[in-house]
């Protein structure tokens, strides 16, 4: 395999890992919007100015956390974008003298993974990755007013606005799932042992998400890839790689 092909594979693999993160984020954003909408529905004396109103939501946020991988794991560093706050090369980022040489960077000198496709200089390589977490927070009438300045006066308008935002997150998720599938499809074309791909461990999640978008044909293709990967895992090296993945998942 030529170096170019190998690099392209690594980029696809890294993209899949990044898509997982972004898909989860859209789901959590949607959940928060739905909670707000539900609370709004129960809010009866909406027009009464002096009545305050509190509700709780699970707010998603990004946090930098130290990578926890077993000591014998081949490389325990990650390249991440500080602008997009996303992981661009994780796992599997090897030592490089200069971040522009990290395999997720294109020849034109831009990242091929993060949302804004940022320059290498916007990236960091160290022992930290971004994780998406949620925290339970109280929201007041004032918080809503601040966020939805235009729509706040009219309950109906505010409901419509929230409904549209929920739809937007749904559409975004479908788009990301589709893009992620395209990466898997290209990886499948280059018929190399699946055990060399870290993205294989996300297949179950991906199959579940694809089912939600209702694209049955793509679900079947992903299941076929999963079978193929399981077949390959029966080999000795395959078993070892599988174990590494399992351990990695446990410790992550
Ligand atoms: Zn790298
Ligand atoms: Zn990046
Ligand atoms: Zn970026």
Give the helix ranges, DSSP H, for the chain: 3-42, 141-147, 155-189, 203-213, 216-233, 236-251
Nearest ligand (C-alpha, residue 113): 2
| pLDDT 10s digits, 6-43 | 888 899 999 999 999 999 999 999 999 999 999 998 88
Cα–Cα distance for residue pair 216/2, rounded to 1 Å: 34
Structure-block tokens of residue 166? 């929920």
Nearest ligand (C-alpha, residue 14): 1
DSSP 214: T
- Number of structural domains in the chain: 1
Reported pTM: 0.86
Question: What stretch of H or E contains 63?
Answer: strand 55-66
pLDDT at residue 243 greater than cutoff 60? no
**C-beta separation of 161 from 199 below 8 A:** no
Pairing of strands 128-139, 86-89: unpaired
**C-beta separation of 90 from 17 below 8 A:** yes
- Expressed in angstroms and rounded, the spacing between residue 70 Cα and the centre of ligand 3 is 28
| pLDDT 10s digits, 166-217 | 999 999 999 999 999 999 998 888 755 655 678 888 999 999 999 999 999 9
| pLDDT 10s digits, 101-142 | 999 999 899 999 999 999 999 999 999 999 999 999 999 989
What is the crossing angle of helices 155-189 and 3-42, to 10°? 160
Cα–Cα distance for residue pair 39/96, rounded to 1 Å: 50
**C-beta separation of 190 from 7 below 8 A:** no
- Expressed in angstroms and rounded, the spacing between residue 13 Cα and the centre of ligand 2 is 14
pLDDT at position 1, please? 65
234 preceded by cis ω (within 30°)? no
- Expressed in angstroms and rounded, the spacing between residue 115 Cα and the centre of ligand 3 is 6
Where in the sequence is the domain holding 203, given as residue range(s)? 3-251
Cα–Cα distance for residue pair 85/93, rounded to 1 Å: 17
- Expressed in angstroms and rounded, the spacing between residue 17 Cα and the centre of ligand 3 is 15
Cα–Cα distance for residue pair 79/126, rounded to 1 Å: 7
pLDDT at position 56, please? 95
Residues, CB within 5 angstroms of ligand 1 (ion): 79, 89, 93, 102
Cα–Cα distance for residue pair 132/58, rounded to 1 Å: 12
- Expressed in angstroms and rounded, the spacing between residue 207 Cα and the centre of ligand 3 is 27
């Amino acid at each position: 395999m030529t170096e170019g092909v190998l690099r392209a594979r690594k980029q696809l693999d890294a993209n899949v890992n990044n898509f997982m993160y972004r898909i989860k984020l859209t789901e959590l954003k949607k959940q928060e919007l739905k909670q707000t909408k539900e609370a709004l529905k129960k809010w009866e004396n909406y027009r009464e100015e002096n009545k305050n109103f509190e509700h709780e939501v699970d707010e998603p946020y990004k946090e930098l956390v130290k990578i926890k991988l077993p000591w014998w794991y081949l490389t325990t560093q990650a390249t991440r974008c500080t602008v997009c706050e996303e992981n661009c090369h994780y796992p599997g980022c090897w030592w490089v003298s200069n971040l522009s040489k990290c395999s997720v960077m294109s020849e034109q000198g831009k990242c091929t993974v993060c949302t804004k496709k940022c320059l290498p200089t916007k990236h960091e390589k160290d022992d930290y990755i971004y994780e998406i977490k949620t925290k339970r927070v109280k929201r007041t009438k004032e918080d809503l007013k601040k966020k939805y300045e235009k729509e706040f006066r009219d309950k109906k308008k505010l409901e419509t606005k929230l409904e549209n935002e929920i739809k937007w997150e749904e559409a975004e998720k479908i788009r990301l799932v589709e893009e992620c599938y395209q990466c898997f499809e290209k990886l499948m074309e280059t018929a190399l042992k699946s055990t060399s791909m870290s993205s294989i461990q996300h297949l179950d999640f991906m199959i579940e998400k694809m089912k939600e978008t209702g694209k049955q044909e793509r679900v079947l293709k992903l299941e076929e890839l999963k079978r193929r990967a399981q077949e390959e895992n029966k080999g000795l090296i395959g078993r070892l790689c599988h174990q590494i993945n399992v351990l990695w998942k446990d410790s992550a």
